[in-house]
Amino acid sequence: MSLLKRIKKYVTGSSQTSEKKFAVIKSINKESSTTFDPKNPPPELSEREVQIIKDCWAIVQQSVAEVGIITFVGLFETHPEVHDAFMSFRAVNTSDLEYNAILRAHALRVMGTVDKCINRLDNNIKIRELMTNLGIRHINYSVKIEYMDLMGPQFISSIKLHLKTIWTEEHEKSWENLFRFMCYYIRKGMCSI
Ligand code: HEM
């Protein structure tokens, strides 16, 4: 079964998915960084942005598993090379059952990390430490540094589906900034060894 059919089957239970749902998650990602430049100052979040993020998260949190999976499906659809990297150290003949469990587990871990960051937005030192260590661990997972910047846009496309009625440009900017902040320190960790 093709990658696309496989992930669609996972999300919907059928490989014959309506194109509408998947059209929404396709987004053009901005250029991503292939390195960490310590001369670039770390992004900062304003109080207003922190409030917007917390308000959104209170709503989206109830659908965290779905948001996580849709984020990954979007990422793999728009960037199949990330999927290959993700599965590279696994058995070639991963069964659908194992595949689903792997996809779900990582999606939930990413969501758990976003949750941790949001709950610690008042304590930047802790987030910096968490994200830098996460970056260091991702070196062992053979993840390319430029893949990190691809996660934010897909995540944002995915939460937008749940926040359609309240979503504004300001929401978009706040979430972009959160991922910029997280990924700054993840990249720092990835380049620290
Ligand atoms: C914001 C971005 C990301 C976050 C927050 C994140 C978070 C995590 C977390 C929490 C783990 C569990 C293990 C640990 O704590 O070390 C993990 C593992 C892993 N991540 Fe990520 N990740 C991100 C992006 C990516 C990307 C883009 C890839 C692309 C290939 C990736 C590939 C992996 C792999 C291969 C593992 C190994 C274990 C597993 O399969 O679960 N991650 N990630």
pLDDT digits (tens, 9 = 90+) for 119-142: 999 888 999 999 999 999 999 888
Helix (H) or strand (E) holding 100: helix 96-119
Domain boundaries, position 186: 3-8+45-190
Distance (Å, whole) CA 36 – CA 190 = 8
Number of domains in the chain: 1
Could you tell me if residue 40 is inside a domain? no
**Using an 8 Å Cβ cutoff, are 45 and 177 in contact?**
yes
Could you tell me if residue 26 is inside a domain? no
Could you tell me if residue 14 is inside a domain? no
Could you tell me if residue 84 is inside a domain? yes
Task: For residue 124, give both structure tokens.
Answer: 């930047």
- Which candidate, 63, 60, 30, 46, places its Cα nearest to that of 174? 46
Distance (Å, whole) CA 136 – CA 72 = 21
Residue ID of nearest Cα to ligand 1 atom 34:
141
What is the CATH classification number for the domain harbouring 145?
A: 1.10.490.10
Phi and psi torsions of 38, nearest 5°: -65, -15
Please list every protein residue whose CB sits less than 6 Å from any atom of ligand 1.
82, 85-86, 102, 105-106, 109-110, 113, 134, 137-138, 141, 143, 147-148, 151, 182
42-92 tens-digit pLDDT: 899 999 999 999 999 999 999 998 999 899 888 988 998 888 777 765 655
Task: For residue 193, give both structure tokens.
Answer: 């060894």
The b/e string for 117-142 (b: 16+ C-beta within 10 A; e otherwise) is bbeebeeeeebbebbbebbbebeeee
pLDDT number for residue 98:
80
Residue ID of nearest Cα to ligand 1 atom 4:
110
Could you tell me if residue 53 is inside a domain? yes
- Which candidate, 83, 77, 71, places its Cα nearest to that of 161? 71
> Residue written as tokens 């992004």?
43
Share of the chain above pLDDT 90, in %: 52
Could you tell me if residue 19 is inside a domain? no
Number of H helices, E strands in the chain: 9, 0
Could you tell me if residue 59 is inside a domain? yes
Residue ID of nearest Cα to ligand 1 atom 39:
106
Residue type, 68: G
Could you tell me if residue 13 is inside a domain? no
Burial level of 96, CB count in 10 A (0-12/13-18/19+)? exposed
Q: Global pTM?
A: 0.83
